[in-house]
């Protein structure tokens, strides 16, 4: 394998999509969401400046501030199966994210409301693989000559030695084939860290047109940053063969973009809320900066520009106040990733074309809230989504966005400390609904190489991802 192939494997980890939500969108934007997993039709707290901005005209008159944080304990695993070269070592990423803040402010006067928000949206995530990944380890072996010139020399020497020992030509050829497929003389190692942060500032207003109808619109400005660092080492212990230099990457990509949003609320009867919100696509053109010349053997180009837009999104919500104490809600989100510009994710070396391999993602949610007297409210919710990334676009180096439908469960409570102060607590578990297996491009190339030498193997990988989220939020209301 050429050094550029290693760099391509490393580069795939630069983009780290999140969890609940689409591949390139995080739905978890408040502690209220974590305790319910459905806020599209909510009318109670100021986080609806994001989830249901047309509903801000139903908040109490005055000025409301909402601040929350999430602590995310995350674990992702990749395990090669049926792979005689890599064995069955499980690669694990287990790094907590302690600070994921979100801020909302709403000012409501009569039938008007103005609002602003600062959020960590998009593909905000951090992922560390201190012991590398299967594809990276294989890349190190290939760069050292495995299944290439070095393996060819080892096979030729084994053939000559077998003939010299008196073996028949057929047996000598079998010995040569076995020696050429032996990965033991090619130790390798790798490490990887990928992170991304998408920070958005929203500013908008809502108006109650009539008692049963409200409209809202907002603009948002998005700052995005992607970082990737890592390395692959490979060696050949067979006498007389050279060892390649490590391939190192240390690159950052940044982008800024803006877009608009529109929302509408309808109240057919006082107990029923219907919400529809549309987010326009946010164009993001990333510019890459390479540090200390660590460009992955030319894979990263300092100053290069590529597009990775946030997709258009439709959000629908239905809320029903069944009794003064019980409220039920349903939500549906559609992330139109197939129509977004995502040139940054194209990888011709592995046959990945974003326009072809990324379809739309759909997310469904449901929640129940029950009021325990004037002070306490408890809630629970469920969220399921169908990720639009095709299996053909899955690489272990991009596991944060690997194809896998998610199942999320959340529960928590809100304490009304006073007329002005509310505290929200939430805990949630989310991750792949099921572990799944997939043979990526590297597995297929390895299978073909073994087949060319008369050996049949069926390598693939098993993927899994789990999150535990703890959230706390505080809301303060100042009447005016």
pLDDT at 402: 58
Instruction: Tell me, yes or no, whether 153 lies in a domain.
Output: no
pLDDT at 95: 86
Average pLDDT, stretch 222-233?
Answer: 93
Task: Assess contact for 288 and 304: CB atoms under 8 A.
Answer: yes
Instruction: Tell me, yes or no, whether 176 lies in a domain.
Output: no
Instruction: Tell me, yes or no, whether 289 lies in a domain.
Output: no
Strand (E) or helix (H) holding 444: helix 441-452
Percent of the chain's residues with pLDDT above 70:
94
Q: How many CA atoms lie within 13 A of 205 on its CB side?
A: 6
> Confidence band (pLDDT; 50, 70, 90) for 301?
confident
Length of the chain: 480
Three-state SS for 32?
helix
pLDDT tens-digit series, residues 100-113: 999 999 999 999 99
Domain count, the chain: 1
Task: Assess contact for 163 and 180: CB atoms under 8 A.
Answer: no
Instruction: Tell me, yes or no, whether 367 lies in a domain.
Output: yes
CATH (domain of 358): 2.40.160.60
Average pLDDT, stretch 314-343?
Answer: 94
Instruction: Tell me, yes or no, whether 98 lies in a domain.
Output: yes
50 against 389, higher pLDDT: 50
DSSP 8-28: HHHHGGG----SSS-TT----
Instruction: Tell me, yes or no, whether 163 lies in a domain.
Output: no
Structure tokens at 476: 């303060």
Task: Assess contact for 251 and 294: CB atoms under 8 A.
Answer: yes
Q: If you average pLDDT over each of 54-63, 118-127, 240-249, 442-451, which comes out highest? A: 54-63
pLDDT tens-digit series, residues 148-194: 999 999 999 999 999 999 989 899 999 999 999 999 999 999 999 98
pLDDT tens-digit series, residues 405-435: 889 999 999 999 999 999 999 999 998 888 8
pLDDT tens-digit series, residues 356-379: 888 899 999 999 999 998 999 999
> Confidence band (pLDDT; 50, 70, 90) for 17?
very low
Instruction: Tell me, yes or no, whether 298 lies in a domain.
Output: no
The maximal CA–CA distance of the chain, rounded, in angstroms, is: 99
262 against 26, higher pLDDT: 262
List the domain range (segments joined by +) for residue 81.
3-146+183-237+251-284+308-478
Is the pLDDT reported for residue 16 higher than 60? no
Task: Assess contact for 27 and 363: CB atoms under 8 A.
Answer: yes
The Cα–Cα gap between 477 and 420 comes to: 5
Is the pLDDT reported for residue 4 higher than 50? no
pLDDT at 401: 53
pLDDT tens-digit series, residues 97-153: 898 999 999 999 999 999 999 998 877 778 889 999 998 899 899 999 999 999 999
Angle at alpha carbon of residue 146, lines to 145 and 150, rounded to 5°: 50
Is the pLDDT reported for residue 1 higher than 50? no
> Confidence band (pLDDT; 50, 70, 90) for 18?
very low
Instruction: Tell me, yes or no, whether 403 lies in a domain.
Output: yes
Residues 6+ apart with CB under 8 A from 184: none
Is the pLDDT reported for residue 474 higher than 90? yes
Strand (E) or helix (H) holding 332: strand 326-336
DSSP state of 148: S
pLDDT at 22: 59
């Amino acid at each position: 394998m050429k050094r550029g192939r290693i760099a391509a494997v490393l580069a795939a980890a630069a983009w780290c999509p999140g969890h609940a939500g689409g591949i390139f969108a995080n739905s978890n934007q408040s502690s209220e969401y974590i305790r319910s997993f459905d806020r599209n039709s909510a009318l109670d707290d100021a986080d609806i400046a994001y989830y249901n901005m047309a509903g801000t005209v139903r908040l109490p008159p005055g000025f409301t501030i909402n601040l929350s944080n999430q602590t995310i304990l995350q674990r992702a695993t990749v395990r090669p199966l049926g792979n005689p070269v890599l064995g069955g070592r499980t690669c694990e990423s287990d790094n907590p994210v302690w600070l994921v803040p979100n801020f909302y402010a709403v000012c409501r006067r009569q039938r008007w409301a103005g609002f602003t928000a600062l959020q960590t949206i998009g593909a905000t995530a951090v992922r560390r693989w201190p012991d590398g990944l299967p594809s990276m380890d294989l890349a190190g072996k290939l760069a050292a000559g495995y299944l290439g010139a070095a393996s060819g020399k080892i096979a030729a020497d084994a053939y000559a030695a077998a003939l010299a020992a008196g073996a028949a030509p057929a047996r000598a050829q079998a010995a040569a084939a076995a020696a050429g497929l032996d990965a033991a003389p090619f130790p390798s190692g790798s490490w990887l860290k990928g992170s991304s942060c998408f920070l958005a500032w929203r500013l908008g207003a809502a108006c109650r047109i009539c008692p049963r109808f409200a409209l809202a619109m907002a603009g948002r400005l998005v700052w995005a940053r992607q970082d990737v660092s890592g390395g692959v080492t490979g060696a050949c212990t067979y006498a007389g063969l050279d060892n390649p230099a490590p391939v190192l990457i240390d690159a950052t990509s940044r982008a800024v973009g803006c877009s608009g949003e529109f929302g509408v609320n309808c109240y057919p009867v006082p107990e029923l809320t219907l919400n529809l919100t549309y987010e326009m696509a946010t164009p993001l053109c990333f510019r890459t900066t390479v540090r200390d010349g660590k460009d992955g053997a030319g894979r990263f180009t300092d100053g290069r520009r590529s597009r990775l837009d946030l997709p258009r999104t439709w959000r629908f919500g239905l809320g029903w106040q069944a009794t003064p104490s019980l409220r039920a809600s349903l939500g549906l989100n559609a992330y139109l990733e197939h129509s977004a510009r995502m040139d940054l994710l194209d990888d011709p070396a592995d046959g990945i074309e974003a326009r072809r391999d990324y379809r739309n993602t759909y997310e469904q949610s449901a929640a129940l809230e029950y009021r325990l007297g004037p002070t306490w409210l408890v809630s629970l919710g469920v969220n399921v989504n169908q990720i639009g990334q095709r299996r053909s676009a899955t690489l272990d180096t991009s596991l944060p966005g690997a194809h896998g439908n998610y199942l999320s469960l959340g529960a928590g409570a809100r304490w009304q400390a006073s007329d002005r102060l509310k505290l929200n607590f939430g805990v949630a578990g989310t991750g792949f609904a099921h572990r799944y297996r997939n043979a990526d491009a590297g597995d297929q190339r390895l299978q073909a190489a073994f087949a060319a030498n008369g050996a049949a193997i069926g390598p693939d990988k098993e993927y899994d991802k789990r999150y535990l989220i703890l959230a706390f939020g505080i809301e303060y209301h100042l009447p005016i």
